[in-house]
Amino acid sequence: MSNSLLNRLLLVAALAVAYVGVPLLFGGNAYVLGLIVAALTIAGVAVAWALLGNLGGMVSFGHAAFFGVGSYTSAVLAMKLGVPVFAAMLLGGVGAALSSIAMLPALRLRGPYFALAILAYAHIFQILATEMTPVTGGAGGLLSIPRFPKILGFDFGEKLGGYLIVLTIVVLAAFAYDAIRRSTWGLALKAMHDTEVATRVVGVPSTHLKAAMLVLSAFITGVVGAFNAHFISFLDPDYAFSSGWTVLPIAAAIFGGYRTVWGPVVGALAIYLVDQLLFKPILPHGHQMVLGVLLCAMILFSPGGLMPALRRRPVKESRHAHA
């Protein structure tokens, strides 16, 4: 069986488990389902961050900005203008994408300079959300944000509905990431990593491509932020623009393997669920430390992350079997 076919079969099986198995197993357990939703929320941002980092070649420390803008855009549209929640969620993504346009001048910067510039932008957006009190509720934030509606008798405002929505967002984001990676754009972006000057010489519009990746990454993050606002039904600037929305997805993406499409998703599920379900009950006050050690170990022993490590193992075993 070819690797490609095996991968497809694995993906179909994983999606079947996610869409059918998980609801059947945990549909009645609001706590576990709530944790999975929180993990998938981080996964969504992690995929968007990895898309920018891997394809765009830009390390961002400011994805909390897109998350916050997306969540506020959607919440305000739904609360103040009565926009239907699903439409508001997509418009939240559009809002975040538009906010990323303000960051385009930062594309001239590279490496740590770009990372720091985008971090500063995130802080600016947080201040704006705090100061625009009539619209955003200021530092007090917004409480009782409309939840997802009931459609054909199925309540998307409940845990299971939220799970299916965030799962679909993450799956679509990963498919988009994969599609771009396989396209000519993906080839150009990969070439840019090796030498940007050379790709420019052969006519690749590198700045445009990087800008497109930034806008797309912002859109995905904004949609995830909007989902979270309607799911948790609460927002304030500290929460919406919390550095946690940047740090955790980065940790998840690196843990899972940010150069793979599904690595960030696996990483987010692994670090969040293992931390909350396994380490927290054992070490209620120091569980984050164990997670930190685990992350360090992963970086030391498998710098590529969890997914490449999992892939390497069967190869070794098969070699051994052949020998």
Partner 1 sequence: MKRMLANLVTVSTLALSVALGAGAAQAKDFLLGSELPLTGSLARVGQGMHEGISVAVEMANRSYAGKHSFKVQTIDDETSPAKGVAAVEKLAGDGVVAITGGYGSNIIGPASEAAQKAGLVYITSGGVSPELTQRGYPTFFRINNTDGYALAMIGLLQDMGARKVSIVYLNKDATSSLAKQVNGALTAKGVTVGMHEFDGSTSDFKPLMNKVKLQDRPDAIAMVGYENDYVGILRAAKVLKPQVKAMVGVWSLATAQMAKEFPDLMETVYGTSMLPYPVEFTHPEAVEFAATYKKLFNKDPDYLGQFGYVQTRLLIDAVVRADEAGTLSKGGLPDELRKTDANTLIGRVTFDKNGDNLNFTHRMGQHQGGKVVLVWPQDAANGKMNFPAVPW
Could you list the residues that contact partner 1 (CB under 8 A)?
Answer: 29-31, 34-35, 38, 127, 130, 138-141, 143-144, 232-234, 236, 238-239, 244, 276, 280, 284-285, 288
Q: Report in angstroms how near the CB of residue 231 gets to partner 1 at its nearest.
A: 9
Helix (H, G, I), strand (E, B) or coil at 261: coil
**Cα end-to-end span (Å), the chain:** 20
Numbers of helices and strands, H then E, in the chain: 17, 4
CB 157 within 8 A of CB 150: yes
Residue keyed to tokens 């989902």: 227
**Residue number with CB closer to partner 1 (244 or 303):** 244
**Residue number with CB closer to partner 1 (8 or 150):** 150
Residue keyed to tokens 């385009």: 104
Work out the burial of residue 62: count CB atoms within 10 Å of its CB; fewer than 13 is exposed, 13-18 middle, 19 or more buried.
Answer: buried
Q: Could you tell me the sign of the dihedral formed by the alpha carbons of 49, 53, 56, 58, in that order?
A: positive
Tell me which residue of 73, 119, 76 sits closest to 223, measured CA to CA: 73
**Residue number with CB closer to partner 1 (262 or 272):** 272
Helix (H, G, I), strand (E, B) or coil at 203: coil
Give the integer Cα–Cα distance in Å for 27 and 167.
14
Q: Report in angstroms how near the CB of residue 55 gets to partner 1 at its nearest.
A: 29
**Residue number with CB closer to partner 1 (58 or 275):** 275
Bridge partners for 142 per DSSP: 235
Task: Convert 143-181 into a string of H (helix), E (strand) and C (coil).
Answer: ECCCCCCEECCEECCCHHHHHHHHHHHHHHHHHHHHHHH
Q: Report in angstroms how near the CB of residue 34 gets to partner 1 at its nearest.
A: 5
Q: Report in angstroms how near the CB of residue 192 gets to partner 1 at its nearest.
A: 37
Q: Report in angstroms how near the CB of residue 71 gets to partner 1 at its nearest.
A: 12
Element (H, E) at 223: helix 206-232
Q: Report in angstroms how near the CB of residue 145 gets to partner 1 at its nearest.
A: 10
**Residue number with CB closer to partner 1 (158 or 178):** 158
**Residue number with CB closer to partner 1 (106 or 240):** 240
Q: Report in angstroms how near the CB of residue 164 gets to partner 1 at its nearest.
A: 18
Q: Report in angstroms how near the CB of residue 31 gets to partner 1 at its nearest.
A: 4
Task: Give CA 211 to chain center in angstroms.
Answer: 18
**Residue number with CB closer to partner 1 (100 or 246):** 246
Bridge partners for 154 per DSSP: 151
Give the integer Cα–Cα distance in Å for 118 and 209.
18
**Residue number with CB closer to partner 1 (185 or 239):** 239
